[in-house]
Amino acid sequence: MATMITLPRPAFFTILFLIVLLPSACRCADPDPLQDLCVADLNASISVNGFPCKPLHEVKSDDFFYDGLSKEGNTTNVFGSSVNSGDVRVFPGLNTHGLSVNRVDFATGGINPPHIHPRASETGVVIEGKLLVGFVTTSHVLHSKVLKAGEMFVIPRGLVHFQLNVGKGKALFLAAFNSQEPGIVILPTTLFESKPSIPNAVLTKAFQIDEKFYNIVSVKNKEGFFAAGIQIDAVCNKFSVLLLKKMRSEGKLKEIEISTGDNFQGRGATAFGDLKKLMRSCQFRSACRCADPDPLQDFCVANQNASTFVNGFPCKPVPEVKSDDFFFNGLSKEGNTTNVFGSNVTAGNVLVFPGLNTLGISMNRVDFTPGGVNPPHIHPRATETGVVIKGRLLVGFVTTSNVLHSKVLKAGEMFVIPRGLVHFQRNVGKGKALVIAAFNSQLPGIVVLPFTLFASTPPIPNDVLTKAFQVDEKVISGIKSKFGS
Ligand SMILES: *[C@@H]1O[C@H](CO)[C@@H](O)[C@H](O)[C@H]1NC(C)=O
Ligand SMILES: *[C@@H]1O[C@H](CO)[C@@H](O)[C@H](O)[C@H]1NC(C)=O
Ligand SMILES: *[C@@H]1O[C@H](CO)[C@@H](O)[C@H](O)[C@H]1NC(C)=O
Ligand SMILES: *[C@@H]1O[C@H](CO)[C@@H](O)[C@H](O)[C@H]1NC(C)=O
Ligand SMILES: *[C@@H]1O[C@H](CO)[C@@H](O)[C@H](O)[C@H]1NC(C)=O
């Protein structure tokens, strides 16, 4: 629509920009290749960004073909779905090419539970069946549609999304990612089954439920998350199996047993050293590596009133730029923490501080009452680093391998949260707490999980959430009611 509408009040534009701008996720994908091919050397002993290249004379045509997506996955698990990843860990020819493909199978009623890919946008095509596909923007708007064979969807990087088989039979789709290894953060698993677990106090406050209730969720989930564990580890698992088979063929391993749940068991002294190395390589890998695009001039103060819509904001004409554009006092005041979470985020991003435009950086202040929680959330476009100014804060994030890293910090101590990963803070001190955080994006975006999952507009259908969290409808409606939907 080219029609220009003149709105009388600038505040309106701000809201408009909030709605229109926030949804776009991370704009860049994996780094570009620097040569024709760099087939992954999956057993190299050095660890680099991606994988080192195999020597050229060892490269075979087979490195550029992969048949692992040809077979239907086993959907006998609580979610009734199976994700088969064709990424660099099983298909070494993809290394440095910033691309991979998954196959996802569904039993009748099966769900691919709400999840996030920290390093890639996704586009997919339904091959068989009828799927409800949805994603939630950082403004908590749910975009969803029922698709049938031949129809496509796109999911911007770092946003929560899901698929549910709403047809009568099986369903299948193929999805492409602009990353050789997009990573996956499965929310039920990340929130309720990380190791060590996210403290109950964080979850009860974040989801506004009582502890008893949470325990029920957790117990009910025990069985289910075993299956989810298989899904999250599938890539690592397959990589392990390939490597183990190779080790066996090289006579390094006498016997191997591959069992679905427990990954594998191996025997032989050499094997164990290699297995440890392998498990380490299956652990946390760095998230999104690039930040906002580089500026092409000294400054480009955001013209938030401009009628054209570009990536970021157009620049104010230079003669109109004032020194005040480069200063902002909005972080000087304590936020009002009288709300259900007992915390308040005051953002110092490009929407309120136009001088940040194109500079790829911004800051927040977060205030906490005693016991206050900054609920589990994700920044789709930025890595975050913060310093505690006052109080004692438990700060934690969960990797794509479902490992929780957390620590109690006091004034002067810092933390870092890799882009796109689920994280939270909780005031565990006796008084108020305050943290100042910096982001490598002018507008990092925020996906607050309680709102995204339970208060989107329109709401995520209950059957998606009941199946994802393995609880009954009453529980889901109960949580939804706490967030006014
Ligand atoms: C893996 O390591 C073995 C020696 O440990 C080596 O012979 C082989 O070439 C390596 N594989 C690749 C793909 O480089
Ligand atoms: C699928 O997985 C289930 C549960 O792990 C298992 O019992 C069943 O044998 C598997 N089916 C096939 C065809 O592998
Ligand atoms: C936006 O327009 C208002 C008046 O309509 C003006 O006061 C304000 O400075 C403008 N903001 C920018 C960034 O140009
Ligand atoms: C955060 O604090 C500001 C300033 O006191 C207030 O306007 C805002 O409503 C608060 N936000 C929440 C979520 O309580
Ligand atoms: C903080 O927010 C609460 C709830 O909105 C309100 O009742 C209270 O007056 C606010 N406090 C201040 C200091 O603004």
Look at residue 192 and give its three-state secondary structure. helix
Does the pLDDT value for residue 222 go beyond 70? no
Ligand 3 atom closest to residue 354's alpha carbon, by position in its atom list = 13
- Annotation-wise, does 384 bind a ligand? yes
Range from 61-65, 243-247, 396-400 carrying the lowest mean pLDDT? 243-247
Range from 290-294, 324-328, 404-408 carrying the lowest mean pLDDT? 290-294
**pLDDT, tens digit (0-9, with 9 covering 90-100), for 160-178:** 999 999 999 999 999 989 8
Q: From 336, 339, 341, 369, give the residue whose CB has the most ligand 5 atoms within 8 Å, as the site to mutate.
A: 336
pLDDT band at 234 (very low <50, low <70, confident <90, very high): very low
**Across all residues in the chain, what is the average pLDDT?**
78
Indicate whether residue 339 lines ligand 4 (CB < 6 A). Answer: yes
Cα–Cα distance, 29 to 144 (Å, whole number): 24
pLDDT value for 23:
30
Does the pLDDT value for residue 48 go beyond 50? yes
Ligand 4 center from residue 367 Cα (angstroms): 10
Tell me how crowded residue 329 is: count the other CB atoms within 10 A of its CB: 9
Range from 110-124, 159-173, 297-311 carrying the lowest mean pLDDT? 297-311
Ligand 4 center from residue 449 Cα (angstroms): 19
Tell me how crowded residue 297 is: count the other CB atoms within 10 A of its CB: 8
Residues with CB under 6 A from ligand 1: 41, 43, 54
Ligand 3 center from residue 20 Cα (angstroms): 19
Indicate whether residue 440 lines ligand 4 (CB < 6 A). Answer: no
Q: From 13, 303, 305, give the residue whose CB has the most ligand 3 atoms within 8 Å, as the site to mutate.
A: 305
**pLDDT, tens digit (0-9, with 9 covering 90-100), for 347-394:** 999 999 999 998 888 999 999 999 999 999 999 888 888 999 999 999
- Annotation-wise, does 117 bind a ligand? no
Q: From 71, 76, 262, give the residue whose CB has the most ligand 2 atoms within 8 Å, as the site to mutate.
A: 76
* C-alpha closest to that of 382 among 14, 118, 182, 178: 118
Q: Which of 200 and 10 is assigned the larger pLDDT?
A: 200
Torsion of CA 304, 307, 308, 310, to 10 degrees: 20
**DSSP code at position 66:** -
Cα–Cα distance, 113 to 162 (Å, whole number): 5
pLDDT band at 21 (very low <50, low <70, confident <90, very high): very low
Q: Enumerate residues 6+ apart whose C-beta is below 8 A from 204.
A: 210, 211, 213, 214
Ligand 3 atom closest to residue 13's alpha carbon, by position in its atom list = 1
Q: From 336, 352, 446, 448, give the residue whose CB has the most ligand 4 atoms within 8 Å, as the site to mutate.
A: 336
**pTM for the structure as a whole:** 0.68
Ligand 3 center from residue 306 Cα (angstroms): 9
Range from 2-11, 99-108, 148-157 carrying the lowest mean pLDDT? 2-11
- The residue assigned the tokens 């769900």 is 111
pLDDT band at 485 (very low <50, low <70, confident <90, very high): low
For ligand 5, atom 4, name the residue with the nearest CA. 338
Please name which ligand lies nearest the alpha carbon of 63: 1
Does the pLDDT value for residue 435 go beyond 80? yes
**pLDDT, tens digit (0-9, with 9 covering 90-100), for 259-282:** 333 333 333 323 334 433 433 333
Phi first, then psi, for residue 157 (nearest 5°) are -55, 140
Indicate whether residue 335 lines ligand 4 (CB < 6 A). Answer: yes
Q: Are 127 and 187 in contact (CB under 8 A)?
A: no
Instruction: Enumerate domains of the chain plus CATH numbers.
Output: 4-59+233-287 (no CATH), 73-222 (2.60.120.10), 327-447 (2.60.120.10), 455-485 (no CATH)
**DSSP code at position 56:** G
Structure token pair of residue 101: 């493909």
How confident is the model over 303-323, as a mean pLDDT?
Answer: 86
